[in-house]
């Protein structure tokens, strides 16, 4: 069995790469981290405080390593959205939070839909595009699967304009996948919907509120779990693998950062 890590690195230095208007939301990119190294005063002081000893008593002249994380969103980095992120109710029932989702539900067969040749910056991913990508992948049955969208966004670094000009899903395309039985919906983009500015422009142009976060709001009609900021999708075949999403077990939250891992059988060929 070969394991492929699909999770992005949470590096607090990436916060500084965000354009100024977006730095208020830097907690979705990475936490602030206070590093307490064992060979520095912070690590030594913490050690001594717990044991009531002095620097001279330290067994090897060092304390311990520790970190304090602050300003971290539950939607930080690669993360799983619980249905409650989209609204308080889902399919007529109270929407579930991340701690109410079992790991069994987040481990399933996976398929990769390669949309790179079809999508445009800030453009909508349509049901027709999804069907074309499924046909190209030789995939017809996605019931109970995780559908991972490869849009090409991995080629952009945080801070580059293209990182925020990602293609995104709509209500119709999201319901297309959930209507076929997909239960996990993943993307290599920073967002599942089109960029906020794009949706807002359509709303103000037309006055039609259907444009406001419509792909996420589609989850209130049919339950599924959205995963954003995936990476390494180029290392996966179109199908024939399983994928697991392992979120931090946070009480009553709408999402949690996750380690996403693909499990490839030894005989499975990779691209």
Q: What is the CATH number of the domain that holds 91?
A: 3.50.30.50
Both 88 and 177 in one domain: the answer is: yes
- Report residues of the chain scoring pLDDT below 70: none
The verdict on 103 and 176 lying in the same domain is yes
**Residue 135 maps to a domain:** yes
Q: Which domain holds residue 51?
A: 32-70
Classify each residue of 60-72 as buried b or exposed e, where b means 16 or more C-beta atoms within 10 Å of its C-beta: eeebeeeeeeeeb
Distance set, CA 154 to CA 19, 130, 244 (Å): 19, 19, 20
Q: What pLDDT, on a 0 to 100 scale, did the predictor assign at position 159?
A: 86
Which residues does residue 111 pair with via DSSP β-bridges, in sequence order? 147
The last residue of one of the domains, among 44, 70, 96, is 70
Q: Are 166 and 149 in contact (CB under 8 A)?
A: no
Strand ranges, E, within 17-123: 32-36, 66-70, 79-81, 89-90, 93-94, 107-114
pLDDT at 87: 98
pTM to 2 decimal places: 0.95
Residue 19 forms part of a structural domain: no
Q: Is 271 a domain residue?
A: no
Q: Do residue 156 and residue 78 come from a single domain?
A: yes
User: What helix, strand, coil percent values describe the chain, rounded to 5?
Assistant: 35, 25, 40
Q: Is residue 140 part of a domain?
A: yes
What is the model's pLDDT at position 188?
A: 98
Instruction: Output the pLDDT for position 40.
Output: 97
So what's the pLDDT on residue 153?
A: 96
Is 123 found in the same domain as 83?
yes
Give the DSSP H or E segment for 173: helix 171-179
Indicate whether 90 and 218 sit together in one domain: yes
Residue (of 120, 171, 180, 193) closest to 147 by Cα position: 180
Last residue within a domain, chosen from 52, 70, 88? 70
Do residue 135 and residue 37 come from a single domain?
A: no
Q: Are residues 40 and 148 in the same domain?
A: no
Q: Is residue 52 part of a domain?
A: yes
Whether 64 and 184 share a structural domain: no
196 and 257 assigned to the same domain? yes
What is the reported pLDDT for 266? 85
Same domain, 94 and 165: yes
If one counts the domains in the chain, the total is 2
Residues 123 and 216 in one domain: yes
* In the chain, beta strands by DSSP E: 2-5, 32-36, 66-70, 79-81, 89-90, 93-94, 107-114, 124-125, 146-150, 168-169, 184-187, 225-228, 241-247, 255-264
Q: Do 144 and 201 fall within a single domain?
A: yes
Predicted confidence at residue 270, as pLDDT, reads 74
Task: Please answer whether residues 264 and 1 qualify as being in contact, where contact means their C-beta atoms are separated by less than 8 angstroms.
Answer: yes
């Amino acid at each position: 069995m070969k394991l492929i890590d699909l999770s992005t690195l949470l590096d607090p230095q990436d916060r500084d790469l965000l354009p100024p208007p977006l730095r208020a939301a830097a907690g979705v990119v990475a936490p602030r981290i206070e590093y307490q190294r064992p060979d520095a005063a912070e690590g030594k002081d913490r050690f001594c405080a717990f044991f009531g000893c002095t620097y001279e008593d330290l067994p090897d002249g060092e304390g311990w390593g520790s970190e304090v994380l602050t300003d971290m969103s539950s939607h930080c980095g690669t993360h799983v959205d619980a249905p409650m992120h989209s609204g308080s109710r889902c399919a007529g029932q109270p929407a579930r939070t991340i701690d109410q989702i079992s790991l069994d539900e987040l481990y399933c067969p996976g398929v990769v839909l390669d949309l790179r040749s079809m999508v445009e910056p800030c453009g909508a991913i349509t049901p027709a595009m999804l069907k074309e990508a499924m046909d190209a992948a030789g995939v017809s049955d996605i019931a109970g699967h995780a559908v991972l969208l490869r849009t090409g966004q991995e080629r952009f670094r945080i801070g580059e304009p293209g990182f925020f000009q990602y293609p995104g899903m709509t209500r119709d395309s999201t319901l297309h996948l959930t209507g076929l039985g997909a239960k996990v919906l993943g993307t290599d983009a920073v967002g599942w919907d089109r960029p906020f500015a794009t949706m807002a422009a359509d709303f103000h142009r037309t006055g039609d509120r259907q444009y406001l976060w419509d792909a996420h709001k589609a989850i209130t009609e049919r339950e599924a779990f959205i995963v954003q900021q995936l990476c390494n999708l180029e290392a996966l075949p179109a199908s024939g693998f399983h994928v697991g999403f392992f979120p931090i077990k946070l009480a009553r939250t709408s999402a949690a950062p996750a380690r996403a891992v693909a499990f490839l059988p030894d005989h499975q060929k990779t691209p």
